Each structure stands twice: as C-alpha cells, then as structure tokens.
A and B are shown apart, each in its own frame.
Chain A
C-alpha cells in the first residue's frame, strides 16, 4: 500500500488495506485537517482530493486508493502562499468554527479549477451540497467560492 500525499511519497504504508483513508492520514501520517465529523459519509468534513477529485476519506479503504495522489488542504497552499479559494474564504469571513472548512475548500477548489466556463451560484451550491456547515455560513461560503474564481 502506498500513497502520494501533497507531493510526498509514502511507500510502504503501515496501515492495512481496509483502514479508512481518513485514519491513514490522521493516525499514520499525522495530517489532521481532514475531520472525523461523522465517519459515515454524511458531513463532508473529511473530504480530500483523490487524483484531483473530492472524495470522503472516511468511506475509502486504503486498498481502493493505494497508488493515487492525495491532496489535503495542507497541500493546497501555505499561510504565505494561499490558494485562491483560501484567500477568498479568509477575506470573505467564510469560515466560522472552521471544522468544515478544509473539506469545503477542497471541494470548491476542485470545482473552480475544472476546465470550462465560470461556475454559477447554483453550481457552487450543488457542488457543496454534501458539506454541512452547522454554523450556517453557507451564504458567505458560496460568495467566497464565487469570488475565488476571479482571483485565479
């Protein structure tokens, strides 16, 4: 079993094939930004990018994703060099308690970096519909994703 996480190869991994990707990241690799909000695929807080596509890491056994490239929010940008979605969330106050933020950012990043025309408000809402924000900050979140397109 092996993964490339944020550009760093981890080969071999100690975790077993049925270990959820979420636990591989948090417990073996110490990458804490994917959050165990529900461990049932219901909240979106554990979302990471698997070969560029947003996926729920709590539902993915390591065996299914072995050999892929994983991106977590740590790999998207740093405090000194924020990615457009990160800058837009920061400037638009689109993060309140912050627990859903990493998952939201990764899903939003995948959406706005797809080839094609700018995405609409409805498309943003659709893309983030599986992500729960219990602080109910959806308005600022959708506005930030929209603003991030212009920052690219």
Chain B
C-alpha cells in the first residue's frame, strides 16, 4: 500500500516533456502508404453506382477497398451484450449520414490518395433525411432503417423503468413541475485525431499501431472484420493523444489493415481535423422531458420522464448509454414513484458514441436544472429542496438497490462550503443517515424510504 497517498512520478512523464513520446501519427515504417476515404456527401441516399477503376489507374495508387472487400462487413460493437450490429465498415448500397466512408484508397502520398478519391465515380439517389429527434414518435417521418427510426430493446421499444405508483403520486401532488432539456451534440475533439498504421509482417501477422482507448476490444473488432484469429494481429497502443470516449470507436484500424493486406505494404489512415469534426463520432444530442409531482413544502412524490436520444445513423454504444441514462434519472434523490421511458432514436446525423459518462451527464444536467426550476416554482431554497429529497442511508434506488452509504447530503454540504454559501443550521445538522427524530413523510414511509447513489459522471 505504499503507493496510496503518495505522489508517484508518471511512467511516461519524462518522455512527454522531452517530446519523445511516439504517437500513432509519428510511426514511419519504410514504404508506408497513405489512406484517404471517399465519404458520403448526402445525409441519406441510395448508392446507384460505384466505379473505382478510374482511381485505380492513377499513378501512385496501390490499393482500393470497398464494402465487397471486407470479409465481415457489419460488426456490432455490443455483440458481446447480445445487440446485433447494423453499421457496415464501408457503405455498400446506401449511406445514412454525411461523411460516411464508402471506399478507401492507399497511395504513395496523401496528395495521390486524395486525387484518387476525387477520381472515384459514384451516383447517388438522395432521400429525404430524418434529422429532428423530436419527431421520433411521428409515424409519418421517413424511415431511415428497415426497422424504422427506433432501436428495439429486448421487451419494449424503449428502455423502461417503473417504480411505485406514479399515477397516484401525480394525483396527490400540490404542483406538477414540467421542463424540457436539450443538450446538443458535442465532438470529443482530442488534439490527436483518429489514426491507425497497419504493417504486414513476413510471417503473415499484421502489426497495428492504434490510437484506441480500448486495445483488446479494438483488436477483437478488427479480427471480426478481417475474419482472422486474434493471433494474426499484434496491436500496439498505449499512447493516446486524448480520447474522451471517442477512441473506443476503432474507425481506422480495420480499413488500414485491409489495405495493408491488399498492398503488402504498411498503410496509415489518419483523420484530418475536418474529418474529426465532421464525421467522427460525437456525444449524442438529447431531448428530455421531465414532470415532477411535488408537494408545496418541497417533497418530490413522483417523476415521469421521456427521453429521445439522438443515436445518429447507427446504433454503436447507444443502447448501453441509454440504459445508464435511464437508471440515473432519479438523480441523487429519493423519489419512490417513477415512470421513465427512454428511446434510442436513429437519425441521419453522424453516429454518436461514448464521451465521458455518456448517458449520465445528460441526465444530471436535466435533473439539476429541473431541481432549480422546481425550487423557483415552489418559492423555496434550492439547497433545501435538494437536501430534503437527497438519498439517505437505507434508501432504495430507482433500480431497486438499497444504499448503505450514500453521500448526497455530505456532498451537498461540502459543495456549499467550497462555494462559500452559508447554509442555515437546520441544513448543517443533516447527515447521510437520518436522525432518529427526523421527519419522514408518508410517501417515503410507505416504501421504507427510497433513494439513490453512484452518480458516475467521469470515465
């Protein structure tokens, strides 16, 4: 235990401050080819014709891959959790977002690769895109997948959470406070863009330098696309120039690997900053509606929510993110009657993916803003509203877990200290465990007392 409480030097600290850290874009194997992709210019379109021959004839072009070159075109990132994939590595008969890769070229120089991409002939039949997540429940909107615009969970279309008797809570409420919260999409924007260098070995193994945040996970994705055993791949990672979630996506590795195999030469695919901003994955945009049934003295009896998560054009990790989101929608508070409905909605936006606590940050933003709104409507101190409803020891969460050691009260009091806010003594005397003589209202007594903990906002 000698490391606990001690300040250990960073293992890569000296190399970082002397410029000796080697990132993927710094790897320069002899004979390395440069990869560029033909990307969709439409949000939604059928591909009527694709002809790469004019590009293949250009000087300096060594290999081109399209969907038909990929041994297993669709690999789902959540297959291990039983969620089938829906996104092709390279688009075949249709494109569902602007920037979706369709073909990739490996050439002597970046300029030659870019010129080759320009020379590829493609004809599209554009379709009306579906872009407004608020219209997800409107049957008259264009369907952008054969299954419609909503991902289906195992039992229901949406991720549902039910607890207590929410209808009764709303009947008993003095006031119903409603709000709509719409955090927009965010690009993770690491300073190092997505990149991979694939190097074919004389022994048939492929060495892949990857910017991935999840090395063995990315390795399994590439092995699936290539349909090769893991032993054929050697992944080199560990030096990531910022990830923030977006570098679990493995967007470059499989294509670079296919081109390395096809040409017999090392191949590098590094996104430009424009590609990173326009068509690498994002933190999703969300539309959240919250209605709270509250008493005039500041108890929250029940909560109803509707969440529309803009997954973008393909599923990726969204069902997992929306699970997390839904399980956190009571926040750090004791609310015994709940009805949450959360939908993963496909749109023709760029696909969304992980970013720092994805699913939970949107819930926290909406809930805490809503708590402020409720305090304003009731005319009570927002600190009191939060402390009154905060999770206490022994409470039961939205997902049915009894919490032995919550920290909502102590965290709120510590936050007030840091912010320099002088709270009244009656707040100061509160603890994470209820005092024996503390007021417990009827709606909490009925469920012994309920609650919540485990706000995971950082990954």
Interface residues of A (CB under 8 A from B): 26, 30, 32-33, 35-40, 42-43, 45, 72-74, 77-79, 82, 86-87, 89-90, 93, 95, 97-102, 105, 132-135
Which chain A residues lie closer than 8 Å to B188 at the CB level? 134
Question: Is the CB–CB distance between A32 and B192 below 8 Å?
Answer: no
Beyond the given A98-B241, A101-B19, please list 13 additional residue pairs across the A-B interface where CB-CB is below 8 A. Answer: A32-B23, A35-B241, A37-B192, A40-B273, A73-B19, A74-B19, A78-B18, A79-B20, A82-B17, A90-B13, A93-B13, A99-B242, A134-B242
A105 close to B17 (CB less than 8 A): yes
- Known contacts A97-B190, A99-B241, A134-B242, A32 near B18 by CB under 8 Å: no
CB atoms of A101 and B17 under 8 A apart: yes
| Contact of B59 with A by CB under 8 A | no
Interchain Cβ contacts under 8 Å between A and B, 18 examples: A30-B28, A35-B191, A39-B273, A73-B18, A73-B19, A74-B19, A79-B14, A82-B14, A86-B18, A89-B17, A90-B13, A90-B16, A98-B12, A99-B192, A133-B191, A134-B190, A134-B191, A134-B242
A131 to B, closest residue via Cβ: B191
Chain B residue nearest to A95 in the complex (CB): B16
Q: Evaluate whether A93 and B10 lie within 8 angstroms (CB atoms) in the complex, with A98-B241, A100-B191 already known.
A: yes
Complex Cα distance, B26 from A98, in Å, reads 13
Residues of B within 8 A of A78 (CB): 18
A97 CA to B9 CA in the complex, in Å? 15
B residues contacting A by CB (< 8 A) are: 9-10, 12-23, 25-26, 28, 188-192, 239-244, 272-273
Output the least CB separation between A8 and chain B (Å). Answer: 15
Q: Which of A30, A74, A89, A97 contacts B192 (CB 8 A)?
A: A97
Bound together, the chains give a CA A58 to CA B13 distance in angstroms of 26
Q: Assess whether B28 is in contact with A90, with CB atoms less than 8 Å apart.
A: no
Query: A134 contacts which chain B residues (CB < 8 A)?
Result: 188-191, 242, 244
Residues of B within 8 A of A37 (CB): 191-192, 273
CA separation between A98 and B11, bound complex, in Å?
Answer: 13
A contact patch SS: loop
- Residues A35 and B23 in contact, CB atoms below 8 Å apart: yes
Known: A30-B28, A134-B191, A135-B242. A99 touches B23 (CB 8 A): yes
Bound complex: CA of A77 vs CA of B14, how far in Å?
Answer: 11
Inter-subunit contact A98/B16 (CB<8 Å): yes
Q: How far is the CB of A39 from chain B (nearest CB, A)?
A: 6
Chain B nearest CB, measured from A28 CB (Å): 12
Inter-chain CA distance A102–B26, complex, in Å, is 14
Closest-CB distance, A24 to chain B (whole angstroms): 15
Report chain B residues within 8 Å CB of A40: 273
Closest to A44 in B: B191
The 9 closest A-B pairs by CB, nearest first: A33-B19, A99-B241, A73-B19, A98-B16, A32-B26, A99-B191, A86-B17, A95-B16, A38-B273
